[in-house]
Amino acid sequence: MTCPTRLRKSILSLVLALVSTTVWGASDDGPRITEAKAFITNAESQLEAAGHELAHASWLAATYINYDSQKVEALAYQRFLELSVDYANSAARFNDLALEESDRRKMELLKQVLTFPAPSDSEMSRELAEIGSEMSAIYGSGQFCRTLTGEEQECLSGDTIENLMRTSRDPDELLELWIGWREVSPPMKPLYERQVEIGNEGAQQLGYDNLSTFWRSKYDMQPDAFAADADLQWSKVKPFYDALHCHVRAELNDYYGDDVVPATGPIPAHVLGNQWAQDWSAIYDLVAPQSSDLGYNLDQLVEKNVEDAKHIVRIAENFFISLGFEPLPDTFWERSMFTEPIDHQAVCHASAWNLDDQDDLRIKMCIDKNAEEFKTVHHELGHNFYQRAYKEQSALFRGSANDGFHEAIGDTIALSVTPKYLVDIGWLEEEPPIEGDLGYLMNMALDKIAFLPWGLMIDKWRWQVFNGEVSPDEYNQGWWNLREEYQGVKAPVARSEVNFDPGAKYHIPGNTPYMRYFLSYIQQFQFHRALCEAAGFEGALHRCSIYNSKDAGEKLNAMLEMGISRPWQDAMQAMTGQRELDASAIIDYFAPLKEWLDVQNQGRQCGW
């Protein structure tokens, strides 16, 4: 999963969330409607100008790390943030006006400026900003120090711990690392509690009941209807997840024994190859089918056929050109960062940028010649072509149809990196037999299917915290109740309210909403199925590539160019013919693996 960056989708989507379904009262107050229109026009102009300044400052800070570049970015971000907060609070003045749909939508976007809306009280706004900064600092500077031989100590960052947990098979070490990282987060708990209090007051000033309603009002649906639909989609996938969980638990039980992984009940969270048990692909070697030979090695094909980093990007660009999209502008090739600089530091984490919301498209990566990077480049260009497609929209409408669409588009393109695609570009002479696909599907399922309940429960926990359903003295218990209910995963040791285990995940202290990832993991398969149908593909869905299909490209572009100007249901219909989220595409994609899992699980006691 690609992590969000400030400028991943577009400049204004940095802070502008999706439209809510606040009911607007009737009014015939013509002068105030004229005032509202002028307010929107001014807001778009001012935010666009400030956004361009911030875009260039942020690009400099990411690609040329030094004191001055960080200072310039911080100042630009502060100006942009203050401007955005001012417009958000001012927009609430027009809540009672019956505006036309386009203006109503823009007004709502302005109100949805921040994840935690600041109250109008300047002291509370300052406190909210300080809390966010302090929690981020606690997480970012967090370390776990352990004693090695004698009195020598080794201090490990979160990234180092995550990498160790991917590779270690020592249950004692895994438990030590799992517990150690969670020593970082308890100081966050009183800060988080206070942040919720202030954020709820800010949400109420904007016209929402609380932060839970505020967060769930971003999806062109009533808040409760959105939550119910998320549960509905999960219910479609849960039988597959249950089968995967059953097989993984049985294989881990065989490997570790009953003392570490019991044969029944939830799986201990520390043995799934990931610090948060959100991605199980690191334990593929323990659970893989015997018939898992793909018949080719993508790493070797990339090494053989690719000249350098820029060549990989040219190949990915050609994918989009084959769909009917225009080539990337010359400035993309002149201004992007494709490799790690040799004379200064830069952030290598892959991201896609649009610095002027028009044609100044770029990617920032340190590209290596391997299969993972090959797929990642296809993913990142998906963001760039999305950004360019909606450039003709007005400033507030340049963004993702909902916050899952941008990530879903990138992943949809990556799903087309199949044997058929490799044949089409001349890397394989013929597609290998489909019998070897079980390994590919298992590896994908350990990523995509295993993630879904995690993607859902994180914001379910926050919704319950925001609306008071889970009180501060139940934060940790509420967290583990949801993890066991949705994931079938349990803490490997006893936890209490002295702990604050939610804070051990970046997106909690970083206040990044998580439903975008849950949605994107469903939408990408729904998009893939629709585009494969448009391309006239017949066969197993996981073998489809839309490469060279102008019909698929036309469907894709019809959705991309809408941006956020219309409800996401309209964008979904433009590409898929459906107006709703539909997780059945995941079941179609993984059908061969589900059949195999059902055979493997015969005689096993599944569920938890």
Euclidean distance between CA atoms 92 and 113, whole angstroms: 12
CA 118 to chain CA centroid, nearest Å: 24
Q: Residue 28's pLDDT is what?
A: 53
Picking from 119-128, 320-329, 505-514, which range would have the lowest pLDDT averaged per residue?
119-128
Give the active site residue among 247, 379, 406, 528: 379
Over range 49-62, report the average pLDDT.
90
Give the active site residue among 517, 521, 547, 589: 517
Structure token pair of residue 548: 């060279």
The SS3 of residue 121 is coil
Please, which pLDDT band fits residue 1 given cuts at 50, 70 and 90? very low
Give the active site residue among 507, 535, 583, 585: 507
Euclidean distance between CA atoms 35 and 141, whole angstroms: 47
Say which amino acid occupies 517: Y
Give the active site residue among 44, 108, 380, 533: 380
Beta strand residue intervals within 483-530, DSSP E:
489-490
Euclidean distance between CA atoms 7 and 29, whole angstroms: 38
Q: Residue 397's pLDDT is what?
A: 95
Over range 34-45, report the average pLDDT.
94
**Interval 250-294: pLDDT, tens:** 999 999 999 999 999 999 999 999 999 999 999 999 999 987 777
Euclidean distance between CA atoms 182 and 500, whole angstroms: 8
Structure token pair of residue 57: 């400052």
> Is 349 a known active-site residue?
yes
Residue 3 has pLDDT above 80, yes or no: no
What residues form DSSP beta bridges with 490?
Answer: 268
> Is 255 a known active-site residue?
no
Q: Residue 149's pLDDT is what?
A: 75
What phi and psi values does residue 340 have, to the nearest 5 degrees? Answer: -70, 130
b or e along 68-84 (b: 16 or more beta carbons within 10 Å of the residue's beta carbon)?
Answer: ebeebbeebbeebbebb
| Helix or strand (DSSP H, E) at 157 | strand 153-157
Max Cα-Cα span within the chain: 79
Q: Residue 550's pLDDT is what?
A: 97
Which range of 50-54, 70-74, 209-213, 431-435 scores highest in mean pLDDT? It is 209-213
| Helix or strand (DSSP H, E) at 574 | helix 568-576
Euclidean distance between CA atoms 396 and 48, whole angstroms: 9
Residue 215 has pLDDT above 50, yes or no: yes
Give the active site residue among 247, 270, 383, 528: 383
* Contacts of residue 199, Cβ cutoff 8 Å, sequence gap at least 6: 116, 117, 128, 211, 466
Q: Residue 435's pLDDT is what?
A: 80
Percent of the chain's residues with pLDDT above 70: 95
Residue 325 has pLDDT above 80, yes or no: yes
The SS3 of residue 145 is strand
> Is 52 a known active-site residue?
no
> Is 407 a known active-site residue?
yes
Euclidean distance between CA atoms 540 and 420, whole angstroms: 11
Number of H helices, E strands in the chain: 23, 6
| Cα separation of the two ends of the chain | 27
CA 146 to chain CA centroid, nearest Å: 32
Residue 500 has pLDDT above 70, yes or no: yes
The SS3 of residue 369 is coil
Beta strand residue intervals within 233-305, DSSP E:
267-268
Residue 371 has pLDDT above 90, yes or no: no
307 to each of 302, 310, 316, 365, 368, how far by Cα in Å? Answer: 9, 8, 14, 17, 11
**Interval 509-545: pLDDT, tens:** 888 899 999 999 999 999 999 999 999 999 999 999 9
Q: What is the pTM of this model?
A: 0.88
Over range 51-56, report the average pLDDT.
92
With beta carbons less than 8 A apart as the criterion, state whether 415 and 30 touch.
no
Picking from 200-204, 431-435, 449-453, 498-502, which range would have the lowest pLDDT averaged per residue?
431-435
Residue 320 has pLDDT above 80, yes or no: yes
Q: Residue 11's pLDDT is what?
A: 42
Where is pLDDT greater, at 6 or 240?
A: 240
> Is 517 a known active-site residue?
yes
**Interval 418-445: pLDDT, tens:** 999 999 999 999 998 888 899 989 999 9
Q: Residue 9's pLDDT is what?
A: 39
User: Which of 263, 572, 261, 593 has the alpha carbon at shortest distance from 450?
Assistant: 593
Please, which pLDDT band fits residue 119 given cuts at 50, 70 and 90? confident
Give the active site residue among 349, 372, 469, 595: 349
Please, which pLDDT band fits residue 214 given cuts at 50, 70 and 90? very high
**Domain assignments of the chain as residue spans, ordered by start:** 143-181
**Interval 57-79: pLDDT, tens:** 989 988 888 888 888 887 888 78
User: Which of 98, 90, 94 has the alpha carbon at shortest distance from 47?
Assistant: 90
Helices (H), 2-100: 30-63, 67-91
> Is 580 a known active-site residue?
no
Query: The dihedral of CA 58, 60, 63, 66: what is its sign?
Result: negative
Give the active site residue among 309, 407, 504, 571: 407
Residue 41 has pLDDT above 80, yes or no: yes
